[in-house]
């Protein structure tokens, strides 16, 4: 086998690391064990490379070993090889490309355009959701022996490139009769920046609303500040911050956003790690925009990390009422680290603690079960902390809202409708037949539209697994094995009859949720993410409750105060 320079240098580095560590006293058990195992790893790889019957790919094998090693830590500690720019893009929020969301499309075994980003080169060039990517700059984008994920990554890599370079796409675009016509588009790549504030506006006479999708972009707090100031100029006397679905990002940007509403010099976050350098204290460093304006923050199970710093800090300082559902519970801090040969990694170096002193990390990855799994910290083992006013809050399980709103049930059928691209395909056909849908506020999926959707499902013989049927089958097998079936056969038969698959029944039962998903997909084709948010706001229980809370001044004050019996 021929060794490339990179492989040789990597193994040499491993070997040198082992040799260096052997310099420590053998009495230092930890250093000895590290050196010993690195030396064993080095030897195993050399033996494998020299004697294994087939030629191995050194980068692939070693990358696999690194991933297996990191799997023993937490999901946030990750390795990025030289060719992977993910970490750089995560911390900057910028990359060179055409600006379009893509996904593997099962019916064609190709990658399809899902959504051109608003104002992107893709949108400007006329790329549309539903377009199937056939070639990029003359290279066939067929699946071949790639997995769906591998094909999607391959297409993504070919779409990206330096701003100013061109990208020639050969596409197949769906038509009204469900056939495809070939097309070719030439797109000049640009610098793509994720929009951290996809929408802001007035949701009531004097209530402003700001949707914040991420904190993972340098300077995103400036976008949020701009939205806040404009809403105040439009007459907003109270504000709703929507952090639902916000997976977090940069700690410094989160602190900046909290600073808009609290005084300069206020301690917001303290980080503590194994080494002294991992510990830091983050305080607000600017004069606030408004310390008095009433504030509610919308959160859900996908609100995480930096978004939890914002919501949790505003709760701990009694500065905002938190509305919605309990957040994800990520209280860990990651730091990017450069590695040899332009590779890098993201390492969890510390836990963070918000103003009350609590850490809201929900899972202790250091305590694994025998099978390697981990579990959330039960509420019974969490500790009580107190806000600035003395209200009780808890650690270890995310941010619990001050005003909880019952989450809407996600029906099982919806998963299959989305996963099988049924809603996506219907929206594609709808938009071909309806090139203009008018304003979002006036749009709706009519009864006739929903009947058309039902007919499409029947024509395609749409089926899905029902959990109740699966569970009943398993129960029958257990009953037969344990000898209980003979006396319960009639009951099982009656239950089986009641649980018979009935597509019409399910489509009618969950029509509200399904229509909502269809409407969002259609609106997105015309108005991008801004339109999706406007569509969701038509029937948004969390937002309705936030507005009610802001309008009830006495109730708002009471929520942020310590109960009289305390």
At residue 93, the pLDDT reads 63
Active site residue 449: no
Co-location of 443 and 538 in the same domain: yes
- Min mean pLDDT across 58-67, 88-97, 207-216, 388-397 is at 88-97
DSSP state of 270: E
pLDDT one-digit tens code per residue, 334-368: 999 999 998 999 999 999 999 999 999 999 998 88
State yes or no: pLDDT of 435 exceeds 70.
yes
At residue 375, the pLDDT reads 84
pLDDT one-digit tens code per residue, 446-502: 999 999 999 999 999 898 876 666 676 777 778 777 777 777 777 777 766 665 567
- Active-site residue, selected from the candidate residues 242, 300, 316, 540: 316
At residue 87, the pLDDT reads 75
CATH code, domain carrying 214:
3.90.226.10
Co-location of 206 and 145 in the same domain: no
3-state SS track over 68-91? HHHCCCCCCCEEECCCCCHHHHHH
pLDDT one-digit tens code per residue, 407-434: 888 888 999 999 999 999 999 999 999 9
At residue 407, the pLDDT reads 86
Active site residue 178: no
State yes or no: pLDDT of 86 exceeds 80.
no
- Active-site residue, selected from the candidate residues 170, 330, 346, 545: 330
562 lies in a domain? no
At residue 20, the pLDDT reads 45
- Active-site residue, selected from the candidate residues 213, 305, 344, 356: 305
Co-location of 171 and 280 in the same domain: no
Q: Which domain holds residue 214?
A: 199-404
Kind and range of the H or E element at 489?
helix 489-498
Task: Please state, in angstroms and rounded to a whole number, the distance separating the CA atoms of residues 295 and 320.
Answer: 5
* Alpha-carbon distance values, 58 to 2, 10, 82, 487 (Å): 11, 10, 15, 61
At residue 497, the pLDDT reads 62
Half-sphere exposure of 371 (CA within 13 A, CB side): 3
pLDDT one-digit tens code per residue, 228-243: 999 999 999 999 999 9
Which of 177, 193, 209 is a domain's end point? 193
Co-location of 430 and 393 in the same domain: no
The whole-chain average pLDDT of the chain stands at 90
Across-strand partners of 94? 193
Co-location of 232 and 376 in the same domain: yes
pLDDT one-digit tens code per residue, 41-52: 999 999 999 999
Co-location of 281 and 244 in the same domain: yes
Co-location of 400 and 270 in the same domain: yes
Compute the average pLDDT of residues 156-177.
Answer: 95
80 lies in a domain? no
Co-location of 388 and 452 in the same domain: no
Co-location of 131 and 235 in the same domain: no
At residue 1, the pLDDT reads 41
The pTM of the whole model exceeds 0.85: yes
Please provide the size of the chain in residues. Answer: 566
pLDDT one-digit tens code per residue, 245-282: 999 999 999 999 999 999 999 999 999 999 999 999 99
Active site residue 222: no
Query: Which among 117, 277, 271, 136 is positioned nearest to 191, based on CA atoms?
Result: 117
Q: How confident is the model at residue 523 (pLDDT cuts 50, 70, 90)?
A: very high
């Amino acid at each position: 086998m021929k060794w490339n320079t990179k492989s040789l240098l990597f193994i040499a580095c491993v070997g040198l690391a082992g040799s260096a560590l052997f310099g420590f006293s053998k009495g230092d058990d930890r250093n000895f064990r590290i050196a010993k195992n690195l030396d064993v790893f080095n030897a195993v790889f050399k033996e494998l490379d020299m004697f294994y019957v087939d030629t191995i790919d050194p980068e692939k094998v070693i990358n696999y070993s690194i991933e297996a090693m990191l799997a023993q830590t937490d999901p946030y500690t990750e390795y990025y090889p030289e060719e992977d720019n993910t970490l750089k893009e995560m911390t900057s929020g910028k990359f060179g490309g055409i600006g379009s969301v893509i996904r593997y499309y099962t019916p064609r075994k190709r990658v399809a355009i899902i959504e051109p980003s608003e104002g992107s080169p893709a949108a400007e060039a006329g790329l549309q959701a539903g377009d199937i990517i056939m070639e990029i700059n003359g290279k066939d984008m067929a699946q071949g022996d790639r997995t769906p994920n591998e094909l999607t990554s391959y297409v993504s890599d070919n779409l990206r490139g330096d701003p100013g370079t061109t990208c020639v796409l050969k596409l197949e675009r769906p038509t009204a009769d469900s056939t495809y016509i070939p097309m070719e588009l030439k797109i000049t790549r640009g610098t793509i920046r994720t929009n951290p504030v996809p929408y802001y506006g007035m949701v009531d006479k004097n209530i402003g609303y700001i949707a914040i999708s991420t904190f993972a972009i340098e300077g995103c707090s400036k976008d949020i500040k701009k939205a806040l100031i404009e809403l105040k100029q439009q007459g907003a006397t109270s504000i709703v911050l929507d952090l639902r679905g916000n997976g977090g990002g940069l700690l410094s940007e989160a602190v900046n956003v909290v600073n808009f509403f609290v005084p300069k010099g206020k301690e917001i976050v303290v980080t503590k790690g194994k080494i002294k350098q991992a510990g830091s204290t983050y305080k607000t460093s600017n004069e606030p925009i408004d310390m008095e304006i009433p504030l509610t923050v919308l959160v859900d199970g996908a609100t995480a990390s930096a978004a939890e710093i914002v919501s949790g800090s505003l709760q701990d300082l009694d500065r905002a009422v938190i509305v919605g559902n309990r957040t994800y519970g990520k209280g860990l801090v990651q730091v990017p680290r450069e590695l040899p040969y332009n590779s890098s990694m993201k390492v969890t170096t510390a836990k963070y603690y918000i103003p009350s002193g609590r850490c809201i990390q929900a899972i202790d990855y250091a305590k694994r079960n025998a099978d390697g799994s981990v579990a959330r910290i039960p509420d019974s083992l969490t500790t009580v902390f107190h806000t600035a006013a003395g209200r009780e809050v808890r650690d270890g399980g995310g941010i619990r809202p001050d005003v909880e709103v019952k989450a809407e049930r996600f029906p099982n059928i919806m998963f299959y409708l989305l996963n099988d691209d049924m809603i996506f395909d219907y929206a594609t056909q709808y938009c071909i037949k309806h090139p203009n849908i008018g304003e979002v506020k006036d749009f709706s999926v009519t009864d006739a539209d929903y009947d058309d959707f039902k007919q499409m499902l029947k024509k395609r013989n749409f089926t899905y697994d029902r959990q109740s049927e699966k569970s009943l089958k398993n129960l029958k097998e257990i009953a037969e094995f344990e000898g209980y079936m003979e006396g319960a056969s009639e009951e099982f038969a009656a239950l089986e009859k009641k649980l018979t698959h009935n597509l019409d029944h399910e489509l009618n039962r969950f029509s509200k949720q399904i229509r909502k998903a269809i409407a969002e997909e259609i609106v997105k084709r015309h108005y991008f993410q801004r339109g999706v948010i406007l569509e969701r706001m038509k029937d948004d229980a969390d937002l309705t409750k936030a507005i009610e809370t802001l309008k009830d001044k006495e109730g708002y004050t009471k929520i942020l105060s310590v109960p009289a019996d305390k």
